[in-house]
Amino acid sequence: MKFLLKSIFLLALWLPLLWGHTAVFSQCETTVIKLEITTTQATFPAENNGGLNIIASDGEPPYNYSINGIGPKTDGSFTDLAPLEYTIIVTDANGCFAETTVVVQLDCNTVPAVAINKLDGPFCVTSTAPILLGANVPGGNFSGQGVSGSTFVPSEAGVGSHLIRYEGNYKGCNVSATTTVEVTNKCCPIPKNVKVIIVDATNIAVTWDDIGFVALGYTVEYVPIAFPLDSDNDFFANSPANIVLPTDKGNKWIARVRTVCDGDELSDFSADVPFQTSVTSCNPASPLSVTNLSPTTALLNWTLAPNGVSYRIEYYPVAKPGDVQSTVLPHPTNSINISNLIADTEYEFRVLTTCEEGVESGFTFPQKFKTSKDLNDCQPPKTVTLSDLRQNSVRIDWTPVEGAFRYEICLRKKNQIDCRIERSEVTNFTFTDLESDTEYEVTILTICTSTNSTPTEKKRI
């Protein structure tokens, strides 16, 4: 973008004080400073990478350039600019100046396709809880049935399919998107993550994610594929549902689950989960045990299953059940030494047996174990107390530290460096021969077998 701009003239007029005097004008009246301006667009998402380049001519060099409070400077190049309107002022050596405005624009081609955040529907028509709406590009406003600001309220929208619009302008770029959300009067949620665990030829376990307080219970239906109309096999249950199958309907089945809500309202069934039973019985690898515990290692042991082919071992900290470590070992392996554990931490481990034909036993009940404390982790006493304070003596007690060999007590006058050091193999010490009416400070550190702790915080006496 190039501009030819006429300078703003500074008019200097000598007002006549006597009759007949002649007016004198500044040279800026005859100076026209020409500005050649080039802009560079900013890009999304950084947006502070735009630029301006200004070249002045036809004035008296050197020139000083400034924009929106940046400058003045002798170089007419400005970088790292946001998409805004800028006021440019250029002054020459004689004080004459030119002024104009120019816009650094955002390159709309760099703005991504606008999308509204996914809404997990359908939603219940009785729900009055607002559902937060969002988009990946700012600058727009939401509209539609049941929309208020940046929220969607199912009860205000009503039953049906509703179109939500997002439209606006973001720094000179038009943004728009739409999405559809369903509101239903079938408010009983469908169970999710339905799985079938095959125990043997006639025993299975059906599991699913518990929906929570809205569910009074669940109906589990299992249907033999050879008899698809045989739908009498349903009952009221909670996860996991242990089921004994009949032996005269074949070994190919489907299972599905639906939720029972208040007022005997039923959800739709979950998607069918096909499964095939086996003539092989697969027993769990229990009981479990843990031996050879140390601060960072443990030996995990399990019982071999008669028809076992392999064993899946999982272990995790009790406080972080999602932090699962796992491995698969072949039969007849019945133990594994694990390492890189955290000292003084409670863990659980469990084992799943895989038998012939891929039949699984299901996981055993978790076995808890706790790693031992690291004796090299020498800690200071947690609590220090004072008692029997007299004119020239004081008793100091502290909490014991596991692994302590002895303790070192440092007593010094307040704000002094030198300290009187005493050692004790018990958790108390009495200082005598103290100066009366004097302020002291005491710290204690633990001496362990191979290292020392840091001192406790200063305790004033």
Selected from 2.60.40.10, 3.40.250.10, 2.20.25.160, 2.60.120.560, the CATH number assigned to the domain covering 288-370 reads 2.60.40.10
Q: What is the mean pLDDT of residues 188-198?
A: 87
Q: So what's the architecture of 384-460 in CATH?
A: Sandwich (2.60)
The top-level CATH class assigned to 192-275 is mainly beta
Question: pLDDT band at residue 23, thresholds of 50, 70 and 90?
Answer: very low
Q: What is the pTM of this model?
A: 0.42
Average pLDDT of the chain is 84
Q: What is the mean pLDDT of residues 4-22?
A: 32
Higher pLDDT, 303 or 212: 303
Q: Which of 212, 314, 201, 214 is nearest to 261 (CA)?
A: 214
Does the structure show a pLDDT above 80 at 238?
A: no
Q: What is the mean pLDDT of residues 127-139?
A: 88
**157 by DSSP, 3-state: which?**
helix
The secondary structure of 184-201 as a DSSP string is ES--SPPPEEEEEEE-SS
Q: Where are the domains of the chain?
A: 27-108, 123-184, 192-275, 288-370, 384-460
Higher pLDDT, 200 or 88: 88
The per-residue pLDDT for range 284-315, each reduced to its tens digit, is 898 999 999 888 889 999 999 887 899 999 99
For residue 179, what pLDDT is reported? 93
Q: Which of 213, 169, 221, 215 is nearest to 194 (CA)?
A: 221
Domain 27-108 annotated CATH 2.60.40.1080: yes
Length of the chain: 461
Nearest-angstrom CA–CA distance, 152 and 150: 7
Nearest-angstrom CA–CA distance, 28 and 13: 12
The per-residue pLDDT for range 44-81, each reduced to its tens digit, is 887 789 999 999 998 889 999 999 988 899 999 999 99
Does the structure show a pLDDT above 90 at 275?
A: no
Domains 288-370 and 384-460 share a fold: yes
